[in-house]
Amino acid sequence: MRRVLVAVIASLLVASLFAPVAVGAQASGSGQAVPKVVIIVGPTGGATNRYRAEARAAAAIARDYTPDVTELYSPNATWPAVKEALQGASLVLYMGHGNGWPSRYRDSLYPPTQDGFGLNPTAGGSDASHQYFGEGPIADDIRLATNAVVLLNHLCYASGNSEPGLAEGTLDMARQRVDNFAAGFIKAGAAAVVAEAYGNPNHMVRVVLGGKRSIETAWRTAPTANHHSFAFESVRSQGYVAQMDPERSSSGFSRSIVLRAGLASADVLRNARGSIHPASASIDPVALDPSLRDSGITLAAPVIQGATAVDGRIRYKIPFKVADRDKLPKSIQASVRWDLLEAAPVDATATAPAPPTGDVAVAPDFGLITPEQGGDVIAPAALKIGKSAMAINVATPSVRGRYR
């Protein structure tokens, strides 16, 4: 009996160890849909290498469960590539800069750039420059699989926090940040948005793709749990519940989740739209990111009409020369960045949040703090192409200060 029992236990252990791979093999043989996983790392300066390493570890875990895993890392994590990869995704993991609201940079929510991704402006650049694509573009241009789960790791604002060096704000502000950051992803089809300021995503990746647990229970019992959780109804997403698990009862906003009640990992897998031969594996960020570099165009210094008055508008007129006008595309998009030269005063008596742990120092998250971080990038707008100049009208910042 003892030998039989040992043999049975050994068989169960072996089955447990190889269950994820076996599920993937079964899906491959039957031709059924598999979960599509997309992992994104945006440019975050000195922290980017650490995030890429965490992302690769998470991707290795995901491949134990599904063959459809796409990795888009800086310097090739551009909006065109991310937008194409995310269509039909069941699990999305993003690590990078976070630009949320409420914040000191705007008087009201700005969907074009807030509560979304911080991505590379062009493919093949560096880890230093980032461009924000907020809840507006996400809701308009991305369609996730039904009951998809979005994981946001290491972002500022997403879990209710602020950013290193700034006061984290009140509990009410934190609740709004959590609710706002989830809204665009939910409009795109997500049933749960999980934010972790400091922890790695491995636990939730296993849970979502494992198909056997409640998403809420898994979040509450995660290794990073602070055991101070509380819930409130989402204002932005009807029928959803937001939960926060701060380090203290009303501060240290490092964990959050916004989800549809009752969501289980089996619900995520049931609606999988991925393929055993994923087309996303062939995504070419450079090909998806057209530019004027090869058109033979020569640009001159822009002529600027207007001033940076609060909530005003400025017209940029950019003279150009081109030998063959047929090489110009029918439409061109451009972005404008604002660098704040004089930041608004910070309350010196307020308690600043502790920086993330680890051996990599994280610089202030939002570019308006210091010019070297890169400023707020307005959502791409169409240029009007004339015979010898291109023109664009853009809104000026809504916060008082001197800009360049």
The residue-averaged pLDDT of 263-269 equals 97
pLDDT at 403: 65
Question: On the CB side of 131, how many CA atoms lie within 13 Å of its CA?
Answer: 23
pLDDT band at 269, cuts 50/70/90? very high
CA 13, CA 262: separation in Å to the nearest integer?
Answer: 30
Residue 44, classified by CB atoms within 10 Å of its CB into exposed (0-12), middle (13-18) or buried (19+), is buried
pLDDT band at 381, cuts 50/70/90? low
pLDDT at 350: 46
Specify the DSSP class assigned to residue 120: B
Highest mean pLDDT of the ranges 5-19, 108-122, 242-256: 242-256
Share of the chain above pLDDT 90, in %: 55
Tokens (6 digits) for 281: 């594996």
pLDDT band at 19, cuts 50/70/90? very low
CA 312, CA 114: separation in Å to the nearest integer?
Answer: 19
Question: On the CB side of 113, how many CA atoms lie within 13 Å of its CA?
Answer: 25
Q: Residue 44 above 80 pLDDT?
A: yes
pLDDT at 20: 47
* pLDDT, tens only, 270-329: 999 999 887 665 688 877 776 776 678 888 888 888 877 777 788 888 888 888 888 777
pLDDT at 338: 67
pLDDT at 395: 72
Bond prior to 353 in cis (omega within 30° of 0): no
Bond prior to 20 in cis (omega within 30° of 0): no
CA 393, CA 274: separation in Å to the nearest integer?
Answer: 41
CA 44, CA 54: separation in Å to the nearest integer?
Answer: 14
Is 285 in contact with 72 (CB distance < 8 Å)?
yes
CA 346, CA 324: separation in Å to the nearest integer?
Answer: 52
| SS (HEC) of the chain | CHHHHHHHHHHHHHHHHHHHHHHHHHHHHHCCCECCEEEEECCCHHHHHHHHHHHHHHHHHHCCCCCCEEEEECCCCEHHHHHHHHCCCCEEEEECCCCCCCCCCCCCCCCCCCCCEEEECCCCCCCCCCEEECHHHHHHHCCCCCCEEEEEECCCCCCCCCCCCCCCCCHHHHHHHHHHHHHHHHHCCEEEEEEECCCCCHHHHHHHHHCCCEHHHHHHCCCCCCCCCEEEECCCCCCEEEEECCCECCECCCEEEEEECCCEHHHHHHCCCECCCCHHHHCCCCCCCCCCCCCCCEECCCEEECCCCCCCEEEEEEEEECCCHHHCCCCEEECCEECECCCCCCCCCCCCCCCCCCCCCCCCCCCCCCHHHCCEECCCEEEEECCCEEEEEEECCCCCCCEC
* pLDDT, tens only, 320-377: 888 888 877 777 766 666 666 655 554 444 444 443 333 332 222 332 222 223 344 4
- The average confidence (pLDDT) of the chain is 81
* pLDDT, tens only, 151-189: 999 999 999 999 988 899 999 999 999 999 999 999 999
Tokens (6 digits) for 290: 């057209």
* pLDDT, tens only, 201-253: 999 999 999 999 999 999 999 999 999 999 999 999 999 999 999 999 999 99
Q: Residue 25 above 50 pLDDT?
A: no
Tokens (6 digits) for 157: 């604002």
pLDDT band at 5, cuts 50/70/90? very low
Share of the chain above pLDDT 70, in %: 76
Q: Residue 35 above 70 pLDDT?
A: yes
pLDDT at 184: 98
Alpha-helical regions (H) of 31-72: 48-62
The residue-averaged pLDDT of 12-34 equals 46
Q: At which residue do the structure tokens 């009410």 appear?
A: 172
112: closest CA among 306, 404, 401, 394?
394
pLDDT at 17: 34
